[in-house]
Amino acid sequence: MSRRVVITGVGAICALGNDAGTIWRGMREGRSAIAPLRGFEKEDMRVKVAAQVSDYDARAHFEPRKLVLLDRVSQFAVIAAREAVKQSGIDFMQGDMRQRTACVVGTGTGGEETNDEGSRRLYGEGNPRLHPLSIVRRMMSAPASQVSIEFGITGPSFVVSSACSSANHAFAQAFSLVRSGAADAAIAGGTEACIVLGVLRAWEAMRVLADDTCRPFCRQRRGLVLGEGAGMVVLEDFDHARARGAEILAEFAGAGMSADAGDIVMPSDLGASRAMSAALRDAQLDPDDIDYINAHGTATPANDPTETRAIHMALGEHAKQVAISSTKSVHGHALGAAGALEIVAAIGALRDGVIPPTANFLDPDPECDLDYVPNVAREMPVNAVLSNAFAFGGLNAVVALKRAQ
């Protein structure tokens, strides 16, 4: 018999702030953290804006002997996990909890800071000697390893990488482990620290970046804006959480996944809708049960109308009644960490009965004909939420949350 899975802790860091509470307030206020790109003033960049973590000093979070092991992507993961674990109050030293806890982290690109620095030394300076810890800093699995080490977790621990769906795929895998009984708890989420010269140049070449700001579902949208950060949650078996008196933030009700098996770049409304429908089935929810969708909402010409059609396909007539917003309008697109930041919005909407707005909205696009909660938050009862993530390569993952009962 499958078990109920609940969320007992959440942590995050991104351009909106260095903790989940501050980030949620920024989302509610529609306060955009997108700003002129910093740190590349000597370069002739076509990238003009980004959502970068500010007021951040790694030395305030890590001792020097630990910091030398951590790429920025792992730093963010550990910081978010610390906050989630603290809020949860879970004690991994109690009984066999270390063995009964999983750790699943999503990341799209891994240790890009280390990779970029190594490339600069090797190709730019002609220096054949790289930092001796380059491999353990840059390897894709480093964030999961560092989080498991931080808390002494010895259960299943691994990284999921599926571009912009990485975090939601990580949630789905962690959810499955807890629901099946393979684990009693899991730390799960996503992390990304991709704002380095090499990655920026690659995104420039794709010509999908906005030069002003992020305007999802808006007729004036000009493309996505890159962001960075991490979000982590503690997932827990409901009976285990209740037995220790934990506060339950939300119920993790289900997850749905699909592959377009089509174009490597162009999204598919059918593939996206199948992931949404699968999440509804897994959560035993009807389309009419959904009050809010945190959309993938990248503000690219292709994604937004495609996602709109997918919502119509998955929810039918109810699509016209559901509230939809894209918080990428305030924290940017953090790629593999996107779903991990957006679960903060999903949890906040369920707990506070507030839909965060789609910020920077001007005029509606005729192809985007749903209720995108433009510019101003909306107070309303929220009992069930979907959070969408659709990635390059046609890899789709949608999670379903319910209000804690």
Residues in the chain, overall count: 405
Main-chain phi, psi angles of 11, to 5 degrees: -140, 155
Residue 123, burial from CB neighbour count under 10 angstroms (0-12, 13-18, 19+): exposed
Place of tokens 């800071």: 113
% of the chain at pLDDT higher than 70: 100
- Same topology between domain 5-243 and domain 255-403: yes
Is 164 annotated in the active site? Answer: yes
CATH of domain 255-403: 3.40.47.10
What are the tokens at 225?
């804006």
Which residue in the list 14, 103, 164, 218 is annotated as catalytic? 164
Q: Given the DSSP bridges, would you call strands 101-106 and 185-192 parallel, antiparallel or unpaired?
A: parallel
Report how far residue 364's alpha carbon sits from residue 372's, in angstroms, rounded to the nearest whole number: 9
Coil/strand/helix, residue 36? strand
Q: In degrees, to the nearest 5, what angle opens at C-alpha 75 toward C-alphas 355 and 138?
A: 115
Report how far residue 332's alpha carbon sits from residue 337's, in angstroms, rounded to the nearest whole number: 11
- Sign of the torsion angle spanned by Cα atoms 76, 167, 376, 32: positive
Report how far residue 117's alpha carbon sits from residue 46's, in angstroms, rounded to the nearest whole number: 21
Q: What is the CA radius of gyration of the chain?
A: 20
Is 296 annotated in the active site? Answer: yes
pLDDT tens readout for residues 267-298: 999 999 999 999 999 999 999 999 999 999 99
Cβ–Cβ < 8 Å for 359, 216: no
What is residue 2's predicted lDDT score, i.e. its pLDDT? Answer: 84
Cβ–Cβ < 8 Å for 156, 188: no
Is 333 annotated in the active site? Answer: yes
Residues 6+ apart with CB under 8 A from 396: 165, 257, 258, 259, 260, 271, 272, 274, 275, 388, 389, 390
Which residue in the list 214, 331, 333, 368 is annotated as catalytic? 333
What pTM value is reported for the model? 0.98
CATH of 5-243, one of 3.30.390.50, 3.40.47.10, 3.55.10.10, 1.50.10.10: 3.40.47.10
Which residue in the list 214, 296, 331, 368 is annotated as catalytic? 296
Report how far residue 79's alpha carbon sits from residue 152's, in angstroms, rounded to the nearest whole number: 15
Domain ranges in the chain are: 5-243, 255-403
C-alpha dihedral, 119 to 51 to 202 to 341, nearest 10°:
90
Digit-by-digit pLDDT tens for the chain (405 residues) are 689 999 999 999 999 999 999 999 999 999 999 999 999 999 999 999 999 999 999 999 999 999 999 999 999 999 999 999 999 999 999 999 999 999 999 999 999 999 999 999 999 999 999 999 999 999 999 999 999 999 999 999 999 999 999 999 999 999 999 999 999 999 999 999 999 999 999 999 999 999 999 999 999 999 999 999 999 999 999 999 999 999 999 999 999 999 999 999 999 999 999 999 999 999 999 999 999 999 999 999 999 999 999 999 999 999 999 999 999 999 999 999 999 999 999 999 999 999 999 999 999 999 999 999 999 999 999 999 999 999 999 999 999 999 998
Place of tokens 């989630």: 84
